Amino acid sequence: MRTNTRTKRLSRAAAACVLAGGLAGAAQAQNGTGLGVDSANFDRSVRPQDDFFRYVNGGWMKNARIAADRTGAGAFLDLRDRSEDALHAILERAAANPGAPGSEQQKVGDLYATYMDTARIEALGITPLRPQLARIAAVRQKSEYPELFAEVGTYGVQTPFSFGISQDARNAERYIAGVGQSGLGLPDRDYYSSQGPKFDQARAAYRTYVETLLRLAGEPDAATAATNVVAFETALAAKQWDRARSRDRTATYNLRTVAQLDSMTPGFSWTRYVHAYGADRTPGVVVRQLDYVPAMNDILQQTPVSTVKQYLTFKLVDSYATDLSRSFADANFEFRGRALQGLQENRARWRRGVGVVEGMLGEAAGKLYVAGNFRPEQKARMQALVTNLLGAYHDAINELDWMSPATKTAAQEKLSHINVKIGYPDKWRDYSALQIVRGDLVGNRMRAARFNRARNLAHLGQPVDRTEWGMTPQTVNAYYNASMNEIVFPAAILQPPFFNPDADDAVNYGAIGAVIGHEISHGFDDQGRRSDGFGNLRDWWTAEDARAFEARATALADEYSSFSPVEGLHINGRLTLGENIGDVSGIAVAYRAWKRSLNGREAPVIGGFTGDQRFFLGYAQIWRSLQREDAVRQQLLTDPHSPGEFRVNGVLRNVDAFYRAFDVKEGDKMYVPADKRVKIW
């Protein structure tokens, strides 16, 4: 369940129709728990039966303002700010008092201080990249590409394909190399070919950006070089899969030997590339987009060496633009911030500095964050919630009327093996081999990139480490990992409005309970269902049950494809299907778990709201959000999550309990006939 950026996004809303009480935490019930929902955010001119998202969040939306340096505003960003503020204080102290050489405090403090030393960064200009620029310039023939691509990848530079080490999806107890499509500077392949003023503007802005960076890097004819680079990327984009197709875990698992890869790409030696990368011990290579690899090779062989050098020069400078002097950083913001997302100004430098430290030393900073910002009782209460949600999911599987006993048994087995991680890792990452030098920002980033590559390469031939985390504790998010069959909830999301120890249980089950249910449901969405309880990609479904599941999934995809958040663009129901299944199923199992927690008791009325209403209010308020239109447009093309409004209204229109709680009837805008409501888990 990820948020709007990279990663990954949560977004949903629900509200109430009874007379409201006071502010969040202010209205006290007889049992001493607060309402946990800020009724000042409501828009009572909107009927909850017509638009629950705006009923709950419309008052806030009327008064909220998107900051000049943000793509949006909302509950997630509020918590991210809180997390950044806490880290800022930690890093300022560490920068002033770095501690013992080689300690984590020294590393995070010196890295942050280095990023904040703008005078030195300005004085250096592009000098820190001179050796790498010279390396690219020295290439004379295409036969040098394998070593060249492996080397530039060592310091994080994009090439026409991605390559890395990860868990083997079909053999989850080992690590293996993987290759996939990559190499584009615009957000998605469709940006290179889609028609319309916005896409024309994006392409024009990108060409200007490429030309600017190449000129700053010393390219003698930057205008012609930029034209060459964009044409090269356009050719690559034409051969790439769309994002919906690239979600297919079966289609993107194509195991090949290195020798078989060599036979697919005459002129490009994968044997030499894998050796130069340091991955000789890999048991094979999993190719994600099988037909892209030979198509990419054809483009490489047909493109002049001079163009590929211009391309890599741009990719190098682009990768480090935000670490260089102001002219580079400003050009990066003008394109990636202003042109693509509609930002009016760059984020405060200290906030960007926090991001740099998180990117290179995330768990080291996380250890310091947890020490002052996470209490043991938060973890204990969260564990109790997760246990109840898993029990509710067990009951829900047993009651499915469309699934056979054989598949139910396999589903229950998978559910029983889900690993739960809460707060922070039991085993912290060891950064002792990473040297951080105060005053050497680009060098620090290159050393961090090499450190991460070496760490990943060291996995080859070793048992899979199931203690590792894919997010830092200070991340406001949560996730499910199919190969690990695990659900993970970082410390930073366990705060109001997602998790409020002073709020009524109904609100917490509607908020963090729905998040937990969402992540569990990813194990049983259209892609997660393809793996078993040990994380292995295999089919454990009967053919009839698989068809029944797909019919429900298709109905949900079709429903979301009808939603149009921006004129001329619709949600891609197939791209967002996994997240939408997570939402629809997550809220259903969270509601079941909350009812289970009552042990037959009747929930009290608090602040004028019944327990059922508070459950949906709690759910709705976590998806409180506003976004710039440019950001929504980019999300619709690239993000597997639906915009917040539809993660509320699109979900709740399928939930029978919501109809009962708010007396939704035929003729109301939230109404969908009972036989058209999608229920999966």
Looking at residue 168, the DSSP 8-state letter turns out to be E
Over residues 627-651, the mean pLDDT reads 96
How confident is residue 376, by pLDDT bands cut at 50, 70 and 90? confident
Q: What is the pLDDT of residue 640?
A: 96
Cα angle, residue 500 at apex, residues 494 and 506 outer, rounded to 5°: 115
Q: What is the pLDDT of residues 204-260, one digit of tens each?
A: 999 999 999 999 999 999 999 999 999 999 999 999 999 999 999 999 999 999 999
* Domain 39-84+357-425+469-676 fold: Collagenase (Catalytic Domain) (3.40.390)
Over residues 552-575, the mean pLDDT reads 96
Helical axes 52-63 vs 644-652, angle rounded to 10°: 160
* R_g (Cα) of the chain, nearest Å: 25
User: How many whole angstroms from its chain centre is CA 607?
Assistant: 36
Domain map (residue ranges) of the chain: 39-84+357-425+469-676, 128-323
Over residues 457-474, the mean pLDDT reads 97
How far is 296 from 283, CA to CA, in rounded Å?
A: 24
Q: What is the pLDDT of residue 247?
A: 96
> Could you say which of 1.10.1380.10, 3.90.550.10, 3.30.360.10, 1.10.3720.10 is the CATH number of the domain covering 128-323?
1.10.1380.10
**Mean pLDDT, the chain, integer:** 94
How far is 271 from 425, CA to CA, in rounded Å?
A: 37
Q: What is the pLDDT of residues 80-98, one digit of tens each?
A: 999 999 999 999 999 999 8
Q: What is the pLDDT of residue 378?
A: 87
CB 154 within 8 A of CB 135: no
Q: What is the pLDDT of residue 377?
A: 86
Q: What is the pLDDT of residue 1?
A: 57
187 pLDDT exceeds 60? yes
How far is 501 from 381, CA to CA, in rounded Å?
A: 9
Q: What is the pLDDT of residue 300?
A: 98
Looking at residue 324, the DSSP 8-state letter turns out to be S
351 pLDDT exceeds 80? yes
- The model carries a pTM of 0.92
Q: What is the pLDDT of residue 26?
A: 28
Q: What is the pLDDT of residues 382-419, one digit of tens each?
A: 999 999 999 999 999 999 999 999 999 999 999 999 99
For residue 186, give the nearest of 355, 325, 307, 339 by alpha carbon: 339
DSSP letters, 256-311, are E-HHHHHHHSTT--HHHHHHHHT-TT-S-EEESSTTHHHHHHHHHHHS-HHHHHHH
